[in-house]
């Protein structure tokens, strides 16, 4: 049997660092927004070779593939008992802050739940990656707190279309956090202020009003290295976007539009920005 699975992505509508543990890990407040992505998995089970096999196209993945990590954890949970062959078709490079790898893992886990495990929630998603629990769920938007362990779906309707711009540079998360530590020097955003800020953004977007540049503590770090973001965001505003910003620790930028906006036309304008490597749209 073959299964073709789409793989979701997340955008950070807001992202504030609210503290740092003694072990160096950071606490955050963020609003995750789920969008359909351009990546997909083709799963064959049982595998034609009777052994697990993972093939990745259009991307070189260093270190352990998160798909392999998820598959091993599914085996440990006595799921997906048959051998599987997985073809993973990538379109989002690592280092873009979109959670593409987490979306790949989430697609595999959700498939295993439907195929082998019934409707119950297994609870091990957070062991795979910080973004995986959200991407495994059905909520289109959620507030994420702490070190990613607090996940609260946000009710309401957010009718938005949009586009994501992937530049020709990447942002390595660990290095971005080191630069944040240097710049912030322990002066973190209070959690209450981060929540209040995000509520303002959500209220504006829910009512179709302009929110402008979205708050993200990694933005100053990226702007120091790549002034091209000024042009990208300026063009997004000129194109009539309701909001624009940086996803995660970067490097991808995105723009949100009303649902009836001509995103393709807006994309043509943004495609001329310096450093833009590829663009994808969703409705």
> What domain range includes position 105?
2-282
Stated pTM of the model: 0.93
Each residue's pLDDT expressed in tens, for the chain with a length of 283 residues: 899 999 999 999 999 999 988 888 899 999 999 999 999 999 999 888 888 899 999 888 877 889 999 998 888 877 777 888 999 999 999 999 999 999 999 999 999 888 876 555 567 888 898 899 999 988 999 999 988 889 999 988 788 999 999 999 999 998 999 998 888 777 899 999 999 999 999 999 999 999 999 999 999 999 999 999 999 999 999 999 999 999 999 999 999 999 888 877 788 888 888 999 999 988 7
- Which string of b and e fits 132-141 if b means at least 16 CB within 10 Å? bbbbbbeebb
Q: What is the pLDDT of residue 189?
A: 93
Structure token pair of residue 171: 């942002």
Provide the domain count of the chain: 1
DSSP for 123-165, written as a single string: S-HHHH-TTHHHHHS--SEEEEEETTTEEEE--S----EEEEE
Q: What is the pLDDT of residue 59?
A: 85
Q: What CATH number is associated with residue 48? A: 3.30.230.10
């Amino acid at each position: 049997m073959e299964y073709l699975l789409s793989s979701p992505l997340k955008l950070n509508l807001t992202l504030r660092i609210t503290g740092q543990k003694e072990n160096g890990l950071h606490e955050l407040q963020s609003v995750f927004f789920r969008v359909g992505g351009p990546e997909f998995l083709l799963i064959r089970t049982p595998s034609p070779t009777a052994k697990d096999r993972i093939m990745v196209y259009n991307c070189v993945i260093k270190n352990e593939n998160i798909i392999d990590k998820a598959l091993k954890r599914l085996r440990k949970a006595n799921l997906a008992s048959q051998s599987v062959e997985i073809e993973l078709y990538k379109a989002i490079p690592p280092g873009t802050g979109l959670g593409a790898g987490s979306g790949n893992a989430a697609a595999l886990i959700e498939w295993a739940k439907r195929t082998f495990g019934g409707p119950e929630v297994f609870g091990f998603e957070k062991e795979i990656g910080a973004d995986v629990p959200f991407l495994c769920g059905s909520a289109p938007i959620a507030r994420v707190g702490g070190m990613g362990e607090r996940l609260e779906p946000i009710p309401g309707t957010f009718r938005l279309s949009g586009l994501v711009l992937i530049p020709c540079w990447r942002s390595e998360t660990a290095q971005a956090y080191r630069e944040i530590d240097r710049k912030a020097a322990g002066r973190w955003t209070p959690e209450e202020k981060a929540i209040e800020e995000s509520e303002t953004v959500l209220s504006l977007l829910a009512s179709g009003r302009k929110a402008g540049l979205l708050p993200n503590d990694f933005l100053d770090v990226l702007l120091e290295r790549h002034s091209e973001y000024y042009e990208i965001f300026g063009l997004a505003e000129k194109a009539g976007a309701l909001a624009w910003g940086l996803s995660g620790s970067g490097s991808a930028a995105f723009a949100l539009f009303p649902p009836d906006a001509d995103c393709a036309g807006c994309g043509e304008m943004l495609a001329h920005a310096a450093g833009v490597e590829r663009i994808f749209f969703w409705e």
